[in-house]
Amino acid sequence: MLYSLIMSTDPNWLSPPSNEQNDSASEIANHTIEAAPTVAATPLEKPSPKSAWVILALVGGIAGVALSCFALALIPFAVLQPAALRSINSASTAVVSIISISGVGLMGAPLAWHALRRMRRSEIEMWKTDWFWVVVSSIVIALALIAGQVILFLKLFSGVVGVLQYVATMLAALILLSITVGSWGKFSTLRAWGHLASGAWLAVPAAFIIEIVIAVVVAVIVAVTLSAFSPSEFSQLQRLFQLYQRTRNIALFSAWAAKPWVIVLGYLMLSFILPTVEELLKPLGVILMLRRKPTPMEAFVGGMLGGLGFAAVETLSNLTAIGDVWLITILARFGTMVMHGLTAGMVGWGWGQWAATRSPWKLIRSFASAILLHGIWNACVVTIVLVSLRFGDNLRALQNIGNSAVFIGLIGLSLLVLIGLSLGGLVVLWVVGVRLRKSEEVNG
C-alpha cells in the first residue's frame, strides 16, 4: 500500500516534466556528468566559487563548529557539579545533552570544508556512493549499539552513550542517502551537506517555535473551555499539574488518557497539525533553490536530506535521558528517520515539479501523501502512548477488563504498522531513487 501510494496510478507521477512544460529542466538534465570525484560545473551549480550561497555555507559551517566547541567546553562543568546537585544520573543526562548539541553543530565541519574547497577552485566535487564505506558504517552502527547497551547493563557512566548514539544516528542518515542515491553522480557534496544542515538548523527551530505557539493556543482554548463548562475538571487538572511539577510522574494523567476529548485532541495535534508543519518545513533547502529548477531526482534527494537532518536532531533530542530501553528506543528512532527522509523527499519532489511546470497539483498530491504517511506513523505512536499511559506498567490492569484483547491488539497492530512503514520505506527510497535515475538517463 505504501508503494502504491507513492507511485500512484499515474505512470508519470515520478517522471520528469514534459519538454513543452519544462525546457529549462530538460536543458539541465541533458548535460552529461560522469560519476567522477570532480567534474565541470553544470547549470544547476552555476554560481561562481565565491557566490553568496557558498559564502553562507562557509560562515554557517564555521558557526556550527564554534557552537560544537563551546558545547564540548561545558562538559567539565556538567561532570564537576556542586556536591548538593551532583548525581550520576544528572551528570550523565547533562553530558548526553551537551554531546547532542555539539553533534548538531558538528554538521558544520563538512559543510565549511566543502565550501572552502569550492571557493578555492571552480570544479565541483560530486557525491559518490562508496559501498565499501556503507558496509563499514553498518558495522560501526552495530558495534556502537552493542557497546552502548553493554555500558548501560554494567551501569557505567552513561554519558559515553551520547557519543555512540550520535555516531550511529549520523551514519544511519548517510546510509539512507547512499541507498537512495546509489551510483547517481549529479549531486555535489556541498549541496548534500547544505540540505542536511538546512533540515537540522533551519527546519527544526522553525518547527519547534510554530509547534510551541500552536500548543500554547490549544492549551489556552482547553483551559478557557474547561473553566467555563467544567470547573471541577479544570480544578482537578490544575492540581495534577502542580503535583506533576513536584514528582515528574507522567502516570498521574493516566485517567485523563481515557477521556474522549483528550484522545481526539491528541490524534488531531500529533497526526495532522504537527505533520503538516514539519512536512512544510523539512525541505526548506529545496524551496530556497527553486530558482535553479532542480531535476526531479535532485529535488527528491534534497528534500530527503532535509528530512534526515531534521530526524537526526529530533532523534538526539529525544535520547538525552538514557534509560534501560535505550536500544529499543534508538532502533525505533531509526525507523522514524526513514519516515522523515521519505516524506520530505516526496515534498521536495513536489516543489521541484512546481518549479518546472508551475502546476500546483503534483505538489499538492505529494504534500498530502507525505502528511498522510507521517500522520499514520504518529497515530500509531499516539495509540501506543495512550494505552501505555492509561494502564502504565501494570499489565494486570489489562487482564482485569473485559476488552483487554482490544487494547493489546491496538498496541500490536500499531507496532506492526510502524515496522512495516520502516521496512517499506527503505524499499520505497531505493525504488524511487532507481526510477528517477533511470528517467533522467532516458531524458538525458
For residues 56-81, give the mean pLDDT. 87
**Three-state DSSP state, 7:** helix
Residue 121, pLDDT above cutoff 80: no
Segments making up each domain of the chain, as ranges: 9-219+276-443
Phi, psi of 340 (to 5 degrees): -65, -45
Cell of 1: 500500500
**What tens digit of pLDDT does each residue of 365-377 get?**
999 999 999 999 9
Lowest mean pLDDT among 146-155, 266-275, 281-290: 146-155
pLDDT higher for 389 or 297?
297
Q: Which three cell numbers stand for residue 235?
A: 480544578
Q: What would the mean pLDDT of 23-30 be, rounded to a whole number?
A: 38
Any bridge partners for residue 188, and if so which?
A: 126
Q: Are 252 and 273 in contact (CB under 8 A)?
A: no
For residues 13 and 15, give the distance between their C-alpha atoms in angstroms, rounded to a whole number. 6
Q: How far is CA 386 from CA 107, 257, 265, 434, in A?
A: 35, 6, 12, 39
Phi-psi bin for 392: left (phi > 0), alpha (psi -120 to 50), beta? left
Predicted pLDDT of residue 4: 40
- Residues 315, 329: Cα–Cα separation, whole Å: 9
Instruction: Tell me the mean pLDDT in the region 82-104.
Output: 71
* Contact assessment for residue 210 and residue 277, using Cβ atoms and an 8 Å cutoff: yes
Q: Which amino acid is at 153?
A: F
What value does the mean pLDDT of the chain take? 81
C-beta atoms surrounding 15 within 10 Å: 17
Predicted pLDDT at 217: 96
pLDDT digits (tens, 9 = 90+) for 399-439: 444 456 777 788 889 999 999 999 999 999 999 888 887 87
| Helices assigned H by DSSP within 253-403 | 260-268, 274-281, 284-288, 296-318, 326-357, 361-391, 395-399
Q: What is the pTM of this model?
A: 0.84
Range with lowest mean pLDDT among 83-97, 126-140, 354-368: 83-97
Higher pLDDT, 410 or 264: 264
Each residue's pLDDT tens digit, 169-195: 999 999 999 888 887 878 888 999 999
Q: How far apart are CA 163 and CA 220, in angstroms?
A: 39
Of the pLDDT bands very low, low, confident and very high (cuts 50, 70, 90), residue 35 is very low
Calculate helix-pair angle for 404-443, 361-391, nearest 10 degrees. 150
Share of the chain above pLDDT 70, in %: 80
